[in-house]
């Protein structure tokens, strides 16, 4: 693929990509970074609601460009500007300890909340006051795997485009609609008006997940609210739900972490909704 085009980390394009590590700059430019072959491959294949490609630019080391020639070709096909860059340039932009040689600059892709409601969702994950970006990305990945129709990040939750959130989603960010910045009461009211039952996941919930399954109440459209990693859901959020449900602990573990509990709840609903 030839000599790298971007020799210096001080290149204006590299500098612009590097600034996307900061939330205020991401918001201003409405762009974010996707790192690694899986995320970049998904970005190259993705188009926004306006039909425009999500991937804008790709930085690749010559070695990565050779190894992942299919991804580079997909980026070209998507109309992205492709740059070869040496490893030092990639390291300067990367937010990981060991960059994988591919960094994509992508357009924001979050969906309007009303569009999600208009699609009549049957399974939704609502992240309320979730602050850890790794947890947010992992729950998004779990929701994708369980076949959820959408994820909603409330206004008090972490930035969807935080590099750790994007990495933790392992490409799932590009697979299902995500609405951001929605107040939790507005999210609940909108979903309820769309015929969706609201369940709050909480370790101190009055209802047991096994009992909910046995009662046959989980086959209807459902939105799960998952709360903060440290203190769960506040009482005012719990009060918004149709039921507050706990995942039963049959062994000696004190509790489940957020992402694990979310996976259990989402898969329980997915199974109940399928014949």
DSSP 20-89: TTSHHHHHHHTEEEEESHHHHHHHHH-B-TTS-BSEEEEEE-HHHHHHTHHHHHHHHHTT-EEEEB-HHH
| pLDDT tens digits for range 119-135 | 999 999 999 999 999 99
Residues of 146-181 as b/e, b for ≥16 C-beta within 10 angstroms? bebbbbbbbeebbbbbbbbbbbbbbbbbbbbbbbbe
Count of the separate structural domains present in the chain: 2
Domain span at 76: 12-107
**Is position 2 within any domain?**
no
Per-residue pLDDT, averaged over 197-214, amounts to: 92
Same domain, 28 and 155: no
Same domain, 149 and 246: yes
Q: Which of 258, 260, 203, 262 is nearest to 229 (CA)?
A: 258
| Boundary-marking domain end, from 107, 127, 149 | 107
**Is position 6 within any domain?**
no
**Is position 249 within any domain?**
yes
Beta strand extents in the chain (DSSP E only): 31-35, 55-60, 81-84, 102-107, 123-127, 150-154, 178-182, 197-201, 207-208, 222-226, 243-246
Same domain, 190 and 65: no
Amino acid 221: pLDDT: 97
**Is position 132 within any domain?**
yes
Amino acid 99: pLDDT: 80
Per-residue pLDDT, averaged over 42-54, amounts to: 92
Nearest-angstrom CA–CA distance, 263 and 121: 18
**Is position 29 within any domain?**
yes
Amino acid 205: pLDDT: 86
Same domain, 117 and 220: yes
**Is position 3 within any domain?**
no
Same domain, 248 and 132: yes
Placement of tokens 């959408």 in the chain: 150
**Is position 100 within any domain?**
yes
| Boundary-marking domain end, from 61, 86, 107 | 107
Same domain, 100 and 165: no
Q: At residue 154, does pLDDT exceed 90?
A: yes
195 in the Ramachandran plot: left (φ > 0), alpha (ψ -120 to 50) or beta? Answer: left
Per-residue pLDDT, averaged over 194-221, amounts to: 92
| Boundary-marking domain end, from 55, 86, 107 | 107
Same domain, 263 and 128: yes
Q: At residue 245, does pLDDT exceed 50?
A: yes
Question: Who contacts 134 (Cβ-Cβ below 8 Å, separation ≥6)?
Answer: 164, 165, 168
CATH number at residue 172: 3.40.1280.10
| pLDDT tens digits for range 4-28 | 455 567 788 899 999 999 999 999 9
Same domain, 46 and 121: no
**Is position 168 within any domain?**
yes
Nearest-angstrom CA–CA distance, 55 and 33: 10
Q: At residue 3, does pLDDT exceed 50?
A: no
CATH number at residue 34: 3.30.1330.30
Placement of tokens 């001080």 in the chain: 10
Q: What is the CA radius of gyration of the chain?
A: 20
| pLDDT tens digits for range 69-94 | 999 999 999 999 999 988 888 888 88
Same domain, 82 and 133: no
Amino acid 204: pLDDT: 86
Same domain, 209 and 236: yes
Nearest-angstrom CA–CA distance, 235 and 15: 45
Same domain, 224 and 190: yes
Same domain, 190 and 248: yes
């Amino acid at each position: 693929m030839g000599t790298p085009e971007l020799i210096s980390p001080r290149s204006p394009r590299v500098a612009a990509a590097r600034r996307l590590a900061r939330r205020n700059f991401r918001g201003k430019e409405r762009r974010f970074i996707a790192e690694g072959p899986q995320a970049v491959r998904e970005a190259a294949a993705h188009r926004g609601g306006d039909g425009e490609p999500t991937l804008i630019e790709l930085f690749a080391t010559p070695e990565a460009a050779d190894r992942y020639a299919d991804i580079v070709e997909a980026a070209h096909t998507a109309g992205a500007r492709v740059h070869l860059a040496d490893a030092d340039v990639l390291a300067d932009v990367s937010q990981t300890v060991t960059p994988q040689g591919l960094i994509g600059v992508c357009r924001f892709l979050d969906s309007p909340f009303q569009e999600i409601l208009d699609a009549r969702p049957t399974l939704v994950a609502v992240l309320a006051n979730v602050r850890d970006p790794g947890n947010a990305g992992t729950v998004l990945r779990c929701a994708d795997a369980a076949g959820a129709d959408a994820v909603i990040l409330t206004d008090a939750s972490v930035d969807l485009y935080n590099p750790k959130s994007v990495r933790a989603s392992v490409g799932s960010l590009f697979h299902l609609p995500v609405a951001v910045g929605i107040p939790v009461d507005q999210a609940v009211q909108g979903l309820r008006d769309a015929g969706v039952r609201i369940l709050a996941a909480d370790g101190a919930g009055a209802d047991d997940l096994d009992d909910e399954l046995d009662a046959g109440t989980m086959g209807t459209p459902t939105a799960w609210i998952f709360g903060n990693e440290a203190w769960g859901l506040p009482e005012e959020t719990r009060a918004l739900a149709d039921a507050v449900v706990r995942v039963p602990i049959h062994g000696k573990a004190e509790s489940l972490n957020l992402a694990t509990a979310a996976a259990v709840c989402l898969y329980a609903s997915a199974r109940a909704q399928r014949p």
